[in-house]
């Protein structure tokens, strides 16, 4: 099957009388489309009740763990040979630290797209979210079942989160037509972007691994999912 935005090219033949063959072709982004490589930050420091994460604008801002720094190096090595026109991070340092090896290899200065920061977890910020999820808190159970972050007290409303993520993607698409951008962001954001692109349930793409690469192509109002949770570079 050939995708609607692909062109089937007749195969060339040395014999004028031969029947024309129509081969399947590889995917090509529509003219002017923006390709997004969505990289989830590396593993961040563990949460401890005795040492809550520092907050930036009310959101937990842990450093990368040693494992996360290793993942960042592997992401950098994986993407260093790709054509990448710009690197973006969020306001939270774990994305900045994960992007650093790739940005250094490419000689690019990362830019900040604040709209692609993680969903705000309200009263569960600072590391408390991990504790409640691990202990299967009743609200955490409802959150998974109903696929809504805003069941957490004080958390960002679901519609508002989706809209700011959409705005962030649109802004980068308008800024980089016909280009490829690497966006170092968060698991909740990647899940939301792919859910918007696929028209799926909100949490259908939740769970991208730390250091994984997902990909979408944006052409106007058309968002195309190309891959999710690529971790080949993290093996071994």
Rg, the chain, Cα only: 20
Residue 227: strand pairing partners: 215
Helices (H), the chain: 66-79, 93-106, 128-134, 138-146, 158-175, 187-198
- Residue 2 has a pLDDT of 46
Band (pLDDT 50/70/90 cuts) for residue 18 is confident
Show Cβ contacts of residue 158 under 8 Å, excluding neighbours closer than 6 positions. Answer: 148, 149, 150, 202
- Of 1-5, 183-187, 193-197, 231-235, minimum mean pLDDT range: 1-5
pLDDT tens string 217-230:
999 999 999 999 99
Nearest to 119 by CA among 224, 183, 192, 223: 192
Q: Is the C-alpha dihedral spanning 211, 170, 192, 34 positive or negative?
A: negative
Angle between helix 66-79 and helix 93-106 axes, rounded to 10 deg: 40
- Residue 10 has a pLDDT of 57
Instruction: Give 191's Cβ-side CA count (13 Å radius).
Output: 20
pTM (predicted TM-score)? 0.91
pLDDT tens string 197-216:
999 999 999 999 999 999 99
| Count of C-beta atoms within a 10 Å radius of residue 221 | 6
Alpha carbons 116 and 170: distance in angstroms, whole number: 11
């Amino acid at each position: 099957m050939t995708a609607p935005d692909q062109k089937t090219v007749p195969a060339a033949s040395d014999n004028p009388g031969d029947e024309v063959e129509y081969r399947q072709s590889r995917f090509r982004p529509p003219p002017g489309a923006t390709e997004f490589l969505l990289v989830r930050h590396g593993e961040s420091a563990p949460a401890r009740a005795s040492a809550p994460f520092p907050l930036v604008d009310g959101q937990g801002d842990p450093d990368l763990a040693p494992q996360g720094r290793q993942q960042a190096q592997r992401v950098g090595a994986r993407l260093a040979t790709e054509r990448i026109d710009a690197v973006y991070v969020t306001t939270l340092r774990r994305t900045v630290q994960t992007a650093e090896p790739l940005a250094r290899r490419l000689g690019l200065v990362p830019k900040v797209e604040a709209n692609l920061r993680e969903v705000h977890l309200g009263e569960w910020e600072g590391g408390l979210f991990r504790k409640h999820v691990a202990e299967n808190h009743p609200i955490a159970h409802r959150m998974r079942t109903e696929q809504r972050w805003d069941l957490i007290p004080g958390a960002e409303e679901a519609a508002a989160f989706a809209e700011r993520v959409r705005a962030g993607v649109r802004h980068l698409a308008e800024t980089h037509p016909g280009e490829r951008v690497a966006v170092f962001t968060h698991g909740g954001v990647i899940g939301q972007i792919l859910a918007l692109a696929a028209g799926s349930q909100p949490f259908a793409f939740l769970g991208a691994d730390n250091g994984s690469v997902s990909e979408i192509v944006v052409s106007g109002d058309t968002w195309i999912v190309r891959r999710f949770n690529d971790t080949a570079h993290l093996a071994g």
